[in-house]
Amino acid sequence: MNDSSIIELLRKRDERAVSELKLRFGALCMGIACSILSQREDAEECVNSAWLDVWDSIPPDEPDDLKAYVCRIVKNNAIDRLKYNNAAKRSPQFAMSLDELGECIPDRNNTEDEISAERLGRSISSFLRKQKEKHRKVFVKRYWYGESVAQIAKEYGMNEKTVATYLFRTRKKLKDHLKKEGFDNE
């Protein structure tokens, strides 16, 4: 079943929509949640909560990309759970990936004028579309899906140092791009 069919089932409040969501995106969503959380039970709870969140939000929401929409909900649920859990239980690899990306993304609390998160998102998307495909995929796997450098290296048949170099260079380019766009992180 395709995305538009699932969205139509959600609009009609047909419970088959949840089953179809699980079939289509279940493994991907568990992968995202597990990469953020150390406990499988927490990850399962976040994914199950995401199905309810999608059910409750469509309608009125009309996502253009159902996969991205569902993944964002799962990721946000997992991050919320991570915050809830005490710091000792946090996934060190995900916390480290957030720290790495923090060098590029401006801190909204330190910005005099309120920067639109939507504008920032568009700027990052625009930047990523201009990158080489492999660099973009490595970046997204690390910072969106929360995969470790080792996982990415294995998937692409690369050396871990090469992946780390790709990420470092892409973050540097992103920082420069955002600075040119008026997003200053200093």
Task: Using pLDDT thresholds of 50, 70 and 90, give the confidence band for residue 91.
Answer: low
pLDDT in tens, 53-64: 999 999 888 888
As its CATH architecture, domain 3-89 has Orthogonal Bundle (1.10)
CA 37 to chain centre: 13
Q: Where are the domains of the chain?
A: 3-89, 92-180
DSSP annotation string for 132-176: -HHHHHHHHHHHTS---HHHHHHHHT--HHHHHHHHHHHHHHHHH
Assigned fold of 92-180? Arc Repressor Mutant, subunit A (1.10.10)
Q: What is the pTM of this model?
A: 0.60
